[in-house]
């Protein structure tokens, strides 16, 4: 399927010289591809910043605390005296002055080879003034004349993981660049630098701007990525329209029984959203609708009533959640209502095995299951529906177009409803979903009380624990969220474990723990114990972030709140304030609080409106808060940063629309180049929609 010219891009990086099986593992972690990272993944791992080594002053001209490259003659070595903790020192000079190069824990024979007395070496690093004397502690680079010729004037600095150094990444990237060819131009208005040339320039910058998201090279790549995304969506849409929908006309009988079984009445926005959905279902066009609703706004009921409508028409519905916890929780909410109405529901996740699984599959195929709730397991091969009419996808931003398509392909002209609890600014809706209709649940269910949100410095954690103790004694229930730590995959787990033990020490058996590495059954047990009130305090990693619903919980403590993005904090806070009790959210932060983090916490204190906070989040990111990690990036994008490249989106969209209008099967030379683009950015699921060409 994939054109041969792309094979080098998709080759495993273990084929590069110098990357053995030992480095493959950390590279896999770095590139987010355990198993087989490919050259492509490596090439799309762009520098986080650069170091400019072009300044070549004499010692007299050096500006302290800046990075410089000095030409020095080595005078003498003063090794660390035995038993001392002083650094190993090397004295050197140029014609304008002297400098001390200091090394901790240096090996003498190695040092003598690195800096031979009497010879000239080029030394790059940061010079400081120490007792009036120039000093450089641990130079970044020490090279001879030959090495100098190869020293990059501007050096990329990559995000790393444990077990990898900058040099590893740099060398691997260089090899990867040499192994991969330039590709035919696919942009309609070529920017003057090719795809491969742009990658090379970002990785091997000649100017600081070359490796910046603001520079023309990076912009080209970002545009490519956005174009690939928009093109895939446009193709998908063209295909969807081609394949006319089948009207599902409900009788209203099931829905009515469900509504009667509800312990509350629907909000105005819920009713409105349902009307729009029912109209879509009844029409002969296929539905592609986004249901946006803040946490706790009651999307699940809307989904259930939408499902009921197609079941009334004698067809089936599927509800897909991103995690098992959520799938089970949906089942728990839906089951009693479904039972009251006579709607037949089943659960299908990776955990249903053997006989039970076979029964569910048989039920789906025979049409005796009306609504199936599940995870990714739903669109695996072997899952066959009798007549799937509606696919509801919860928390869609966690799924790609790929999954949406896979689920929708389980039936004929399936109507798709996508639900998201992270309200998405309009620009982003276009990015992820293309031209989708959207319904918004802006109204909160009646009776919700505002959440008292407070920021507390982490050195006052003892007070927090003490007041938590009082609340637990009153029978209240609380979450304690432990931070996500990016640098090391297990440390977030350790932090949660440590906090759990700590709190156990105070509150004993009333404390539970749930985290992402637990087995499914353990997770369920922990959640169930908390939901039943057997445990009152649930220590959790961000697995509780989306959707988890325990209305009795009225306190949430979020540790290291400064590490979370605004939308994520809002999501987490939404775990409370779901019942009748007044709720509290405590944001524990480590001092000193950065400016952006401060504004984020301020916004959260000021508002509970997810739509407002989503815009605010985007604005704050736009102000350059990069957190230093990928966390703040936009899911699904490797190169494009919507804070910087958002304005390219409209153009990419227009170009994609024009392409599909002129050549909806991407035939011809330009079409062939565009197919390469779709493969490169792994939107090749869209290629499958095309006629062979």
Residues interacting with ligand ADP, by CB under 6 A?
264, 266-267, 270, 293, 295-301, 421, 445-446, 547, 549, 551, 578
The residue at minimum Cβ distance from Mg ion is 547
**578 interface partner picked from ligand ADP, Mg ion, none, CB below 5 to 8 A per type:** ligand ADP
How long a stretch of residues is the chain?
693
Tokens of 447: 């009776």
Answer whether 535's CB lies under 8 Å from 563's CB: no
**445 interface partner picked from Mg ion, ligand ADP, none, CB below 5 to 8 A per type:** ligand ADP
Q: Is 24 left (phi over 0), alpha (psi -120 to 50) or beta?
A: alpha
Q: How far apart are CA 422 and CA 668, in angstroms?
A: 40
**180 interface partner picked from ligand ADP, Mg ion, none, CB below 5 to 8 A per type:** none
Nearer to ligand ADP, 162 or 580 (CB): 580
Tokens of 587: 């944001």
**422 interface partner picked from Mg ion, ligand ADP, none, CB below 5 to 8 A per type:** none
Residues near Mg ion (CB under 5 A) are 547
Q: In the bound complex, what is the minimum distance in angstroms from residue 265's beta carbon to ligand ADP?
A: 6
Nearest to 14 by CA among 30, 29, 28: 28
Q: In the bound complex, what is the minimum distance in angstroms from residue 321's beta carbon to Mg ion?
A: 8
97 phi and psi angles, rounded to 5 deg = 175, -175
**194 interface partner picked from Mg ion, ligand ADP, none, CB below 5 to 8 A per type:** none
Nearer to ligand ADP, 8 or 551 (CB): 551
Tokens of 548: 């988890």
Q: In the bound complex, what is the minimum distance in angstroms from residue 679's beta carbon to ligand ADP?
A: 36
Centroid of chain to Cα 266: 33
**431 interface partner picked from ligand ADP, Mg ion, none, CB below 5 to 8 A per type:** none
Nearer to Mg ion, 87 or 547 (CB): 547
Nearer to ligand ADP, 450 or 668 (CB): 450
Answer whether 584's CB lies under 8 Å from 454's CB: yes
DSSP SS3 for 678:
helix
Answer whether 322's CB lies under 8 Å from 548's CB: no
DSSP SS3 for 198:
helix
Nearer to ligand ADP, 169 or 421 (CB): 421
Tokens of 535: 């445990």
**535 interface partner picked from ligand ADP, Mg ion, none, CB below 5 to 8 A per type:** none
Q: How far apart are CA 608 and CA 602, in angstroms?
A: 12
Nearer to ligand ADP, 270 or 439 (CB): 270
Q: How far apart are CA 553 and CA 572, in angstroms?
A: 12
Centroid of chain to Cα 172: 25
Q: In the bound complex, what is the minimum distance in angstroms from residue 301's beta carbon to ligand ADP?
A: 5
The residue at minimum Cβ distance from ligand ADP is 298
Q: In the bound complex, what is the minimum distance in angstroms from residue 394's beta carbon to Mg ion?
A: 6
Burial of 388 (0-12, 13-18, 19+ CB in 10 A): buried
Q: In the bound complex, what is the minimum distance in angstroms from residue 582's beta carbon to ligand ADP?
A: 16
Nearer to ligand ADP, 570 or 653 (CB): 570
**106 interface partner picked from ligand ADP, Mg ion, none, CB below 5 to 8 A per type:** none
Q: In the bound complex, what is the minimum distance in angstroms from residue 303's beta carbon to Mg ion?
A: 8
Q: Rounded to a whole number, what is the distance in angstroms from the first to the last CA of the chain?
A: 11
Beta bridge partners of 154: 52
Nearer to ligand ADP, 10 or 612 (CB): 612
Burial of 196 (0-12, 13-18, 19+ CB in 10 A): middle
Answer whether 73's CB lies under 8 Å from 94's CB: yes
Q: In the bound complex, what is the minimum distance in angstroms from residue 291's beta carbon to ligand ADP?
A: 9
**298 interface partner picked from ligand ADP, Mg ion, none, CB below 5 to 8 A per type:** ligand ADP
Nearer to ligand ADP, 234 or 343 (CB): 343
Q: In the bound complex, what is the minimum distance in angstroms from residue 572's beta carbon to Mg ion?
A: 14
């Amino acid at each position: 399927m994939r054109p041969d010219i792309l094979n080098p891009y998709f080759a495993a990086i273990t084929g590069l010289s110098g990357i053995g099986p030992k480095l493959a593992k950390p590279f896999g972690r770095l590139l987010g591809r355990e198993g087989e990272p490919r050259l492509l993944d490596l090439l799309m791992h762009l520098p986080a910043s650069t170091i400019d080594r072009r300044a070549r002053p004499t010692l007299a001209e050096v500006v302290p605390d800046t990075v410089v490259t000095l030409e020095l003659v080595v005078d003498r070595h003063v090794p660390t005296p035995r038993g001392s903790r002083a650094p190993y020192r090397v004295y050197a000079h140029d014609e304008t002055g002297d400098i001390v190069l200091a090394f901790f824990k240096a090996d003498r024979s190695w040092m003598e080879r690195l800096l031979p007395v009497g010879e000239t070496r080029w030394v790059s690093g940061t010079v400081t003034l120490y007792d009036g004397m120039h000093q450089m502690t641990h130079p970044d680079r020490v090279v001879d004349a030959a090495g100098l010729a190869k020293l990059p004037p501007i050096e990329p600095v990559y995000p790393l993981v444990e077990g990898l150094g900058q040099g590893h990444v740099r060398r691997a990237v260089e090899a990867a660049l040499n192994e991969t060819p330039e590709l035919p131009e696919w942009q309609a208005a070529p920017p003057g630098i090719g795809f491969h040339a742009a990658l090379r320039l970002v990785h091997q910058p000649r100017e600081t701007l070359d490796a910046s998201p603001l520079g023309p090279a990076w912009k080209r790549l970002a545009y490519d990525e956005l174009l690939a995304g928009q093109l895939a969506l446009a193709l998908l849409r063209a295909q969807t329209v081609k394949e006319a929908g089948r009207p599902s006309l409900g009788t209203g009988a099931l829905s009515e029984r469900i509504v009667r079984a509800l312990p509350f009445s629907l909000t105005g926005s819920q009713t409105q959203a349902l009307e729009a959905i029912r109209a879509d279902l009844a029409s002969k066009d296929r539905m592609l609708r986004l249901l946006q609703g803040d946490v706790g706004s009651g999307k699940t009921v809307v989904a259930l009533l939408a499902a009921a409508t197609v079941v009334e028409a004698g067809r089936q519905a599927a509800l897909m959640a991103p995690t098992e916890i959520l799938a089970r929780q949906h089942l728990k909410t839906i089951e009693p209502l479904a039972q009251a109405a006579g709607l037949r529901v089943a659960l299908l996740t990776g955990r249903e095995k053997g006989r039970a699984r076979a029964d569910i599959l048989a039920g789906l195929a025979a049409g005796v299951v009306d609504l199936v709730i599940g995870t990714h397991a739903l669109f695996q091969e072997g899952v066959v529906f009798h007549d799937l009419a509606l696919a509801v996808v919860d928390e869609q931003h966690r799924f790609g177009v790929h999954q949406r398509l896979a689920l929708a392909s389980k039936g004929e002209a399936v109507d798709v409803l996508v639900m998201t609890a992270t309200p998405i600014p309009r620009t982003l809706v276009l990015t992820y979903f293309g031209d989708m209709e959207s319904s918004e649940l802006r109204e909160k269910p009646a009776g919700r009380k505002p959440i008292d949100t407070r920021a507390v410095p982490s050195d006052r954690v003892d007070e927090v624990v003490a007041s938590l103790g009082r609340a637990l004694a009153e029978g209240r229930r609380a979450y304690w969220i432990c931070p996500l730590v990016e640098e090391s995959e297990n440390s977030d787990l350790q932090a949660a474990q440590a906090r759990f033990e700590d709190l156990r020490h105070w509150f004993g058996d009333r404390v539970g723990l749930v985290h992402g590495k637990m087995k499914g059954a353990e997770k369920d047990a922990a959640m169930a114990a908390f939901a039943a009130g057997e445990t009152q305090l649930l220590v959790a990693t961000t697995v509780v972030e989306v959707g988890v619903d325990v209305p009795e919980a009225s306190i949430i403590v979020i540790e290291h709140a400064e590490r979370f993005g605004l939308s994520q904090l809002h999501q987490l806070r939404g775990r409370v304030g779901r019942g009748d009790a007044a709720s509290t959210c405590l944001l524990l932060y480590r001092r000193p609080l950065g400016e952006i983090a401060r504004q984020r916490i301020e916004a959260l204190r000021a508002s509970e409106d997810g739509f407002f906070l989503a815009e605010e989040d985007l604005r704050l990111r736009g102000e350059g808060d990069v957190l230093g990690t990928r966390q703040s990036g936009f899911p699904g994008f490797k190169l494009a940063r919507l804070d910087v490249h958002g304005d390219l989106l409209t153009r990419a969209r227009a170009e994609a629309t024009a392409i599909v209008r002129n050549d909806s099967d991407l035939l011809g030379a330009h079409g062939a180049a565009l197919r390469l683009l779709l493969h490169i950015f792994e939107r090749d699921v869209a290629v499958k929609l095309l006629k062979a060409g």
